[in-house]
Amino acid sequence: MSIQLITDSNCDLPKEIIQKYNIEVLPQLVYLDEVEYLDGVTLEAKKLFDDMRAGKVYKTSQLSPNMFVEVFTKYVKEGQDCMYVGFSSNLSGTYQASEIAKEEVLEDYPDAMITTIDTKCASMGFGLVVYQTALMIEEGLSKEAIINKTKENAEHMEHIFTVDNLEYLYRGGRVSRTSAFVGGLLNIKPILNVEDGKLIPIEKVRGRSKVFKRMLEIMKERGSNLKNQTIGISHGDDLEAANKLKDMIKEEFGCEAFIINNIGCSVGAHSGPGTLALYFSNQ
């Protein structure tokens, strides 16, 4: 029985990878002035970031169980195993919605094979886990091996990121109003990571150039076998910064394989334009 890989648009993977590995991506819901958009379908990241620079405020919503029921049922009827690799349950209720949907589908199709995995990862850190799972499915590994390795990959995924404007994190409740105001005045750029599926600020650096240097230092401290990894870099409509970071990583660690992409609308609505993020494994 074949395995259909399912994920959601918080993975921020390039469309070429999604198409190449036949990954079913459920679009997150994004709202502007009560108008609903589908992340990456009816709203692209470039438009979102341009609007945010102009002062518009987007909001997001988790996927509903019904959306998962529809997709799970489709593949179950085709006789396929479903494997949903999901966005951190500590950042969204989307994973919980998949669990509710799984139980509902199993009531109608008791023999259905549906696996749900909470990666506790975000953005392209989450995306790299999905990508690695797609490679294992293509390689033909057993379902048990794929599940175990996916969980292991997720556990060891590092997320190091910074934002250009603390105001967006303030709106999302990640920093205080005072921190956002003072940070803007002093050109302070926070460096954050993901711990147990939650966004955690780890330090503050003054000035963009020092942020790049510090991100590489953290990568050196935490990374392992970096040269042979596929490194993820995502950005809030700042490809120049992403390429600069890529060149610095290549020079420092000898890495050759990279996936670079815009942060999607769902994540970008909270992080804002100018965000820069780095993802790698610590094993």
Whole-prediction pTM: 0.93
Contact 217, 208 (CB under 8 A): no
State the average pLDDT over residues 65-84: 97
For residue 212, count other CB atoms closer than 10 A to its CB. Answer: 19
Average pLDDT, the chain: 92
**Annotated domain spans of the chain:** 3-28+63-155, 157-281
The Cα diameter of the chain in Å comes to: 59
- Cα within 13 Å of Cα(156), Cβ side: 17
> Which pLDDT value is given to residue 189?
81
Fold of 3-28+63-155: Rossmann fold (3.40.50)
- Please tell me which residue, 219 or 91, carries the higher pLDDT value: 219
Class of domain 157-281: alpha beta
Instruction: Please report the pLDDT score of residue 173 as a whole number.
Output: 55
Q: Is the dihedral of CA 228, 138, 126, 187 positive or negative?
A: positive
Comparing CA positions, the residue from 226, 221, 273 lying closest to residue 254 is 226
Q: Which of 139, 159, 161 is nearest to 149 (CA)?
A: 139
Q: How does pLDDT run across 184-240, given as a tens digit for each residue? A: 445 678 888 998 888 888 888 888 889 999 999 999 999 999 999 999 999 999 999
